[in-house]
Amino acid sequence: MKIDHDVLLFATRLVEELGESAIRISRVRLVELTAANNLRAAAFWRDVMNTSERLLAERSPALAPPPTSPPMAPSMTAQPATL
């Protein structure tokens, strides 16, 4: 697989600064450039969009909150002793 460092750098920066909006922004830019028939720039933004999606997918499990323990049942909670 050929790694385009410009694409990787740009996608990484977009994801760091914009989060999930990076995908939407790169998709809009891709559509604009495709409509303008600028195929080289459109190919760059297509790669940026795909790389951003991959980076977000890799980052999502790392950002997920840790699992919480289930709440204790009422019978297991400490209750005051009655005399």
Sign for the pseudo-dihedral over CA of 32, 11, 57, 21: negative
- C-alpha span between 21 and 1 (Å, rounded): 26
Structure tokens of 11? 């996608």
Residue 78 reports pLDDT greater than 70: no
The distance between the two most distant Cα atoms of the chain, rounded to a whole number of Å, is 85
Contacts of 48 (CB under 8 A, 6+ apart): 7, 10, 11, 14, 26
Q: What is the pLDDT of residues 16-71, one digit of tens each?
A: 999 999 999 999 999 999 999 999 999 999 999 999 999 999 987 655 444 454 55
> What are the residue ranges spanned by the domains of the chain?
5-59
